[in-house]
Chain A
Amino acid sequence: MAKQSLSFALEARAAAQLDDYVVDLAWSPDGKQLALAGGEGKVALAEVGEKLSIATLGEHMLGTLALAWQPHARRFATAGQDGSVALWDAAAARQLKRWKPGVGATQALAWSPIGDALATASGKSVTLWSADGDRIHAFAPAASTAVGLAFDRPGTDLGVALNGELAVHRIEKARYETRRYKWPAACLTVNFSGNGRFLASGMADGTLHFWNRSSGKDSQMRGYECKVQLVGWSDNSKYLASCTGNDLVLWDFSGKGPEGQKPLVLSGHTDRVDAFAWQSGGEHLLSGGRDWRLVLWRPGRAREPIDVQMTDGEISAMRWSPDGKRVAVGEKQGRVSLFEVVVR
């Protein structure tokens, strides 16, 4: 008897309109709400049920740049070109606090994994705040603007993407020692692998760089046709995904690692890929782009898409729900839609 293999597919569930370009979305930990950030500055909250209903909570003048939901809480934070950081109460649908951490636009936000600290990057200053927005620690100003922030999975380290280096601050026990991973080009992203072994960065010089955290040894991956802005580790730390033009480029970190190996190139789009997301707790990868296509992949099993859905416009952002069963997709024209992964 032939073995029946499971087949996954995407099914559209609900959709609604945000009156703004969808820059990013963030799920609440319980998967019942979605926070939305708009390119013209809108901050909105969507209730996720049979339908999606969106309510605008406020704005960041000249554009929202970052959005992050507080782990284990009913709060999220936003930051914008206006320089401010805002804390929002998702239960009461209102702003709790708003402040300016420094001079310049606030480009990046990151919550510690247990949700007790919020890191912000405003211009050259990186600051650590309590969950209520009280200052815990201000790091010495960097030599350049900080454009990316990320905590590692245990929450002991905070990585900062800078021009010419990734700075990794030890947060644990408030020692704030800094280790620097240098490379002579602008780092655009900072990505810790979930297993803690690697640190990666998409660079402005059209390369992807990674460092072995224990040995400090670094490797560079070339062949990108443009700057590398989208980078993400699979949940199991096996793949490091990135984009070049219409394709997804995946580096396999299992076994001996990606050095000297050719990457896995996933071609399923007919125009530029502008967003992708790894499934929370799973092995699926979803990508979307200017071709209006939402493509579902399972890289370990197949190089071909396992499902393709058309949306109503160019896709700008997507996020998996915490349980890894649904995905929220944002479009440039403001449409927000929900899909569910189903087994056929």
Chain B
Amino acid sequence: MSVTPSRVPVTVLTGFLGSGKTTLLNRILSEKHGKRIAVIENEFGEVGVDSELVIGAEEELFETNNGCICCTVRGDLIRILGQLMKRRDRFDYILIETTGMADPGPVAQTFFLDDELKNTFQLDAIVTMVDAKHFEQHVDELNEPAEQVAFADLVLLNKTDLVDEAALARIESRIRGINGTARILRTKNADAPIDRVLNVGAFDLNRALAVDEAFLEPEYPFEWGGVYQLGEGDYLLKTAGEHDHHAHEHEHEHHHDHEHEEGHSHEDLEIVLLPLTDATPTELQSAIEAAVRAFAEPATVVNCHGDIAGPGHYAIDISHPGADFTLGIAKAGAYALFCEHHPGEFGLTLQGQRPKAERRFASHHHEDDISSIGISDPRPLDPTKLNQWLDYLLKTRGQDIFRMKGVLNVKGEDRRQVFHGVHMMFDAQAERPWGTSPRINQLVFIGRGLDRAELEAGFESAVAK
């Protein structure tokens, strides 16, 4: 007797104070897009103009089970969304803005745990705004910014006009380190296209799992590789900025005078230069193994203005802006350069040269205790053992695992099994058939203090024998 209309997508907007959430909301509300949007704000608003509705909410946390944080929901959202269900006017989208310090967990869990809401609303995506200017400071000082990034399906890296490219590359790399699966979109004045923010379908099991391929690869000791065609001669490898000799010397003396003061850091960047037969992407790909081996060898330390004498493993001192090094090429040909960090973080360039091909590799910064771990493995899984593993994992580590998603190759199943979860809450279903595409398991865990060895051992235990 009851008809089930399609569920209304709900976007959760998180972000630290001042990151630009309000600017984005105002843009969405004032733009002409012909959609009816209800906004649930963390302050008391008033009814918006025309087709929008703005509702104020105060964070009300409710436990649904035995004090478990994974079973905490937002009572205010249950009530307000319940009220929206009673209205005759339907909304196309719901946007929930959380306070800068709010934990997105209970917001997301509300849509898994409340049986009435989950029939009417579909969590669409968690969008986290990051203030490029202050993110690095905030993420070092507080827990919330990293947690908000960890929960995100989409990160809007906002205020990109207030920092330089090197900082943006550094922040993106840090975000990648925390959350290996979120899409990152750079914005200036929260100017993200609305269709990139709303109706993203991140929690829609019918849409393909969007995981950065690089993220699912094994860990490499480098984040970037490029291939150059170089003739015989000297090339200047230089970081961005002007090198100031006076400042350099002064700082040096200063350092001597105050021995107890922390000296400026001596920052090394490890690089590996390898000869190739051809300057092509294929050649770059085939050089990865050699590069991994080279990174395992001891590195030659090269000071500022020093020489990089042909292929090898070097640790170049990039402590100062505008640091430069002379790369001597004795024999013309194709060369691959692998860098420990993305060269964009320092504005590192080989002057006068552009790479013929380049590639990013998964960033494995572990400076944050929140990180992502990906597992990619083709072997079919045993459904019973898989359930046992996931049950155990969620029971013991559910509080630490913020997000989890994956595509699974289950033995005896013709279709892809897809799943996603927030803490212990979990949705899974069979998706489209594998057909002729190669069967592979791709799992991603985002959480605090995750142990790769533990996750891999667990995965191993679920492999069908």
A residues within 8 Å of B by Cβ?
21, 23, 39-40, 61-63, 65, 81, 103-105, 107, 123, 144-145, 147, 163-164, 184-186, 204-206, 226-227, 270-271, 290-292, 314, 332
The answer for the CA separation of A107 and B79 in the assembled complex, in Å, is: 9
Chain B contacts of A185 at CB under 8 A? Answer: 63-67
- Considering the chains assembled together, what is the distance between the CA atoms of A206 and B114 in angstroms? 11
Please tell me which one of the listed residues B61, B67, B75, B79 contacts residue A184 in the complex, with CB atoms under 8 A apart. Answer: B67
Partner of A227 from the list B64, B67, B87 (CB cut-off 8 Å) is B64
Complex Cα gap A213–B362 (Å): 61
How far, in angstroms, from A105 to B67 measured CA to CA in the complex?
25
Minimal beta-carbon separation of A23 from chain B (angstroms): 7
CB–CB A226/B63 < 8 A: no
Given contacts A185-B65, A205-B65, A291-B1, contact A61 B47 (CB under 8 A): yes
Greatest chain A CB density within 10 A among B64, B65, B71, B86 is at B86
Verify A186–B64 contact, CB threshold 8 A: yes
Contact B2 A226, beta carbon cutoff 8 Å: no
Q: Which residue on chain A has the smallest CB distance to residue B58? A: A104
Q: How far is the CA of A65 from the CA of B82 in the complex (A)?
A: 11
Q: Digit string of B57-96 for contact with A (CB within 8 Å is 1, else 0)?
A: 0101111111100010101100110010011100000000
A332:B86 contact, CB within 8 angstroms: yes
Residue of B nearest to A293 (CB): B1
Instruction: List, in ascending order, chain B residues with CB within 8 A of A206's CB.
Output: 64
- How far in angstroms is the closest Cβ of chain A from B167? 40
Q: Are the CB atoms of B86 and A123 closer together than 8 Å?
A: no
Chain A residues with Cβ below 8 Å from B60 are 104, 123, 144-145, 163
**Bound form: Cα–Cα A65–B63 in Å:** 22
**Distance, CA A272 to CA B119, complexed state (A):** 13
Residues on B with C-beta less than 8 A from A105 are: 76, 79
**Contacts A62-B55, A103-B58, A271-B2; is A147 near B63 (CB within 8 Å)?**
no
Q: How many residues of B contact A (CB 8 A)?
A: 26
Do residues B1 and A292 form an inter-chain contact, with CB atoms below 8 A? yes
B residues near A147, Cβ cutoff 8 Å: 75
Q: Say whether, besides A39-B86, A107-B79, A290 and B65 are in contact (CB < 8 Å).
A: no
Q: How far, in angstroms, from A271 to B1 measured CA to CA in the complex? A: 9
Interface of A is mostly: loop
Q: Is the CB of A145 within 8 A of B75?
A: yes
User: Within the assembled complex, what's the spacing in Å between the Cα atoms of A26 and B298?
Assistant: 83
Chain A to chain B contacts (Cβ below 8 Å), 5 pairs? A103-B58, A145-B75, A163-B61, A163-B63, A205-B66
With beta carbons under 8 angstroms apart, the residue of B47, B63, B80, B83 that contacts A186 is B63
> Which of B66, B73, B86 interacts with A63 by CB under 8 Å?
B86
Least CB distance from A311 to B in Å reads 12
Please determine whether B58 and A163 come into contact, CB atoms closer than 8 angstroms: no
A39 to B60 alpha-carbon distance, docked (Å)? 21
From A21, A164, A184, A226, B115 is in contact (CB under 8 Å) with A226
Compute how far the CA of A81 lies from the CA of B60 in the bound complex, rounded to whole angstroms. Answer: 14
Q: B63 near A164 (CB under 8 angstroms)?
A: yes
A62 touches B1 (CB 8 A): no
Q: How far is the CA of A205 from the CA of B62 in the complex (A)?
A: 10
Complex alpha-carbon distance, A314 and B64, angstroms:
27
Q: Are A40 and B66 in contact (CB under 8 A)?
A: no
Closest CB in chain B relative to A147 CB, distance in Å: 7
> With a CB–CB cut-off of 8 A, which chain A residues contact B73?
204
Q: Report A123 CB to chain B, min CB distance, Å.
A: 6
Residues of B within 8 A of A81 (CB): 55, 79-80, 83
Residues of chain B contacted by A23 (CB below 8 angstroms) = 86
B1, B65, B79, B86: which contacts A40 (Cβ < 8 A)?
Answer: B86
Q: Which residues of B contact A63 (CB under 8 A)?
A: 83, 86
Given contacts A39-B87, A40-B86, A205-B65, contact A314 B75 (CB under 8 A): no
Indicate if the CB atoms of A227 and B63 lie closer than 8 Å: no
A145 to B88, CA, bound (A): 28
How far apart sit A271 and B58, CA to CA, in the bound complex (Å)?
Answer: 33
B62 touching A204, Cβ below 8 Å: yes
Give the docked Cα–Cα distance between A105 and B73 (Å): 17
- What's the Cα separation between A149 and B259 when bound, in Å? 67
Expressed in whole angstroms, the Cα–Cα distance for A29 and B2 within the complex equals: 36
Q: Which residues of A contact B83 (CB under 8 A)?
A: 39, 62-63, 65, 81
A39-B83, A184-B67, A290-B1 are contacts. A227–B61 as well, Cβ < 8 Å? no
CA distance A23 to B85 in the complex (A): 12
In this complex, which of A21, A186, A270 has the most chain B Cβ atoms within 10 angstroms of its Cβ? A186
Q: Looking at the assembled complex, report how far the CB atom of A83 sits from the nearest CB atom of chain B, in whole angstroms.
A: 8
Q: Give Cα A145–Cα B73 distance, bound, in whole angstroms.
A: 13
Question: From A205, which residue of chain B is reached at the shortest CB distance?
Answer: B65
The winner among B71, B73, B75, B83 for most chain A CB atoms within 10 A is B83
CA–CA, A308 and B115, complex, Å: 27
Which of A65, A104, A226, A292 has the most CB atoms of chain B within a 10 A radius of its CB? A104
Given known A-B contacts A185-B63, A185-B65, A226-B115, A123 and B58 have beta carbons under 8 A apart: yes
In the complex, what distance in Å separates the CA atom of A302 from the CA atom of B1?
28
Of the candidates B1, B62, B73, B80, the one having the most CB atoms from chain A within 10 angstroms of its own CB is: B62
8 Å CB contact of A163 from B62, B80, B88: B62
CB neighbours (8 Å) of B65 from chain A are: 185, 204-205
Nearest-CB distance from B81 to chain A (Å)?
11
Residue of B at shortest CB range from A63? B83
- What chain A residues lie within 8 Å of B88 (beta carbons)? 21, 40
Q: Which parts of B187-220 form the interface with A (CB within 8 Å)?
A: none
What B residues does A270 contact at CB under 8 A?
1
Q: Report the Cα distance A145→B115, complex, angstroms.
A: 21
CA distance A62 to B55 in the complex (A): 8
A123 to B63, CA, bound (A): 16
User: Nearest chain B CB to A55's CB is how many angstroms away?
Assistant: 20
Q: Is the CB of B1 within 8 A of A186?
A: no
CB distance from B30 to the nearest CB of A (A): 21
A184 touches B86 (CB 8 A): no
Question: Which A-B residue pairs are the 4 nearest by beta carbons?
Answer: A39-B86, A186-B62, A63-B83, A21-B86
Contact B55 A314 (CB under 8 A): no
| Chain B residues with CB under 8 A of A314 | 2
Q: How far is the CA of A271 from the CA of B2 in the complex (A)?
A: 9
Closest to B88 in A: A40
**B115 with A227: CB separation less than 8 A:** yes
List B contacts of A65 (CB < 8 A). 79, 83
Nearest chain B CB to A60 CB, angstrom units? 10
Given the complex, which residues of A lie within 8 Å of B87, measured CB to CB? 21, 39-40
Residues of B near A104 (CB, < 8 A) are 58, 60, 76
